[in-house]
Structure 1
Amino acid sequence: MLAEERQQLIMQMLKENNVVKLQEICERAVCSESSARRDLQLLEEQGRLVRIHGGAKIKHSLQQELDMDGKATKNVPEKALLAKEAVSQIEDDDVIYLDAGTTTLAMIPYLTEKHDLTVVTNGVLHASYLADRGIRTILIGGALKNTTKAIVGVKAVSYLGQFRFNKAFLGINGIHHKYGFTTPDPDEAEVKQMALEQSEETFVLADPTKFDIVSFVKVADLSQATIITTGLSPQLNARYSEQTTIQGAIR
């Protein structure tokens, strides 16, 4: 396989999984590690990826955000694991906040195992699915963001400020040991911040591809929420455990 073909393959692998390991490149491209490393170095110099220990990850724009359809097809098995672990934190009679997003959406089928819940959400799809399952649901008011089907804006933040939660569950775009939890949209960031402030406990659901990523707007410091993740490398786990609690979803 020619170098250009290998590099195209690497970018395709990154589009599929956000992170690619050196060994996976060698197996798919049938090449040596030295060739794969040269390809990664060249692609990083072109600004198309970021090299990490043992491989590479996709380079995100600070303001890049997929729509709900795009997010729904990514890391589906991991989202199910995160959802199960998140729901295990919920007790009967809890009042919880569910952030808009596909990872928190994956929690809803498991919520039926709990009793007498009240769920407040800014996710239009979330509210619909919760109602279908007979769960007491409050959808906050405000402006609808078409891409993520989230309710945002000043009215949403004000409305959310009326409630108190036992637990809040948030999705996030970036987790960084220096810059904390970040997201591309200032309006969604404000809603997440208010939910965090109004909750006794906050959990951020994130697969390993969200780590060492920085997005446009800071939501909170790492110490303000527990991270639920899966398959985190020992290096990342050690780095982030210094600042917050990491809960691993078991496969």
Structure 2
Amino acid sequence: MLTFERQDIILSILKQQKVAKLAELTQATGASESTIRRDLSELERKQKLKRIHGGASLPSRKSDEPDMTEKKVSYTEEKRRIGQLAAKLVEDGDSIYIDAGTTTEAIISHIQAKNVTIVTNGLNIIETAIHYGFRTYVIGGYVKTGTHAFVGKTAQEAMRQYRFDKAFIGTNGIDQEFGYSTPDPEEAYIKQLAIEEAQQAYVLADASKLDRTSFTRFASLEEADLITEASEETAEYLEQLSEYTSIEAVKT
């Protein structure tokens, strides 16, 4: 079966039932899971569907980048646990980069190490870091209205002035082949620079980001370790990802 024929079948199934599991799509097309995953990734990049864990759904009319208000009230307990696990990696005297986002923000209140310096591109990170008494540096640039992240040329130039012991990065998608991705190319480039300037980089994500792609890739799986949550539903996919990256996971 040709690629466009498989993809037509996938879209037809989604139009009928709105959501389809990976197993349904492999059975309907006779293709392997890896082939269907590639099809789903391509169709998502064309904005014809939305990947979800274990399958796909029809895209909503909203952007796949929720604003800060939405982020603050979603997966709060999972983010707290992920932040707690990530904070254990911070050591005395570390200079760390904390990416804009609510999952990364959850690290700050759990840091026990002394004399830690934080560099960030997130307005929410600034407020929380200062509240907990950390020496905090902010890169300049344009502030996005949705994610409250500093981006643009000024931010990019500022990033190159720093070196980090560790970088903690947020993501909108984690895919076995496409890697780590996010909707906005400008924000993606800041994430990429942070990873390049860090001795060790970690991507933090709740399970809703697994087996998904977003518009712009900012790193391959090999470029950053993953800190996420593990459950019976995610165990198989995390096992597949572990061939490419080191994974730390909290049990849910």
TM over 0.5, shorter chain? yes
Query: Counterpart amino acid of 2:21?
Result: R
Partner of residue 249, structure 1: 250
Runs of at least 5 residues in structure 1 that lack an aligned partner in the other structure: 1-40
Bigger drift between 225-234 and 187-196 goes to 225-234
Partner of residue 223, structure 2: 224
Aligned partner of residue 119 in structure 2, secondary structure: strand
Partner of residue 175, structure 2: 176
Is 1:44 the counterpart of 2:44 in the alignment?
no
CA separation of 1:219 and 1:230: change in aligned 2, threshold 3 A: same
Aligned partner of residue 129 in structure 2, secondary structure: helix
Equivalent residues, number? 210
Quote the Cα distance in structure 1 between the aligned partners of 2:110 and 2:59: 31
Partner of residue 94, structure 1: 94
CA separation of 1:235 and 1:116: change in aligned 2, threshold 3 A: same
How far the C-alpha of 1:154 sits from its partner, in A, is 1.1
Deviations along 1:82-121, one digit per CA (max 9) or x if unpaired, are 000100111010000000001011111112x221000000
Query: Counterpart amino acid of 2:107?
Result: M
Partner of residue 197, structure 1: 196
1:63 and 1:215 in contact (8 A); partners too: no
How far the C-alpha of 1:188 sits from its partner, in A, is 0.4
Partner of residue 74, structure 1: 74
Query: Counterpart amino acid of 1:84?
Result: Q
Deviations along 1:29-53, one digit per CA (max 9) or x if unpaired, are xxxxxxxxxxxx9973347434246
1:82 and 1:229 in contact (8 A); partners too: yes
Across the aligned residues of Structure 1 and Structure 2, the Cα RMSD in angstroms comes to 2.2
Quote the Cα distance in structure 1 between the aligned partners of 2:17 and 2:168: 33
Query: Counterpart amino acid of 1:44?
Result: L
TM-score when normalising by structure 2: 0.77
TM-score when normalising by structure 1: 0.78
Query: Counterpart amino acid of 1:145?
Result: K
Query: Counterpart amino acid of 2:167?
Result: A
Q: Residues 7-156 of structure 1 correspond to what in structure 2 (within 5 A)?
A: 44-46=14-16, 48-52=18-22, 64-111=64-111, 113-156=112-155
Partner of residue 240, structure 1: 241
CA separation of 1:219 and 1:73: change in aligned 2, threshold 3 A: same
Quote the Cα distance in structure 1 between the aligned partners of 2:17 and 2:151: 32
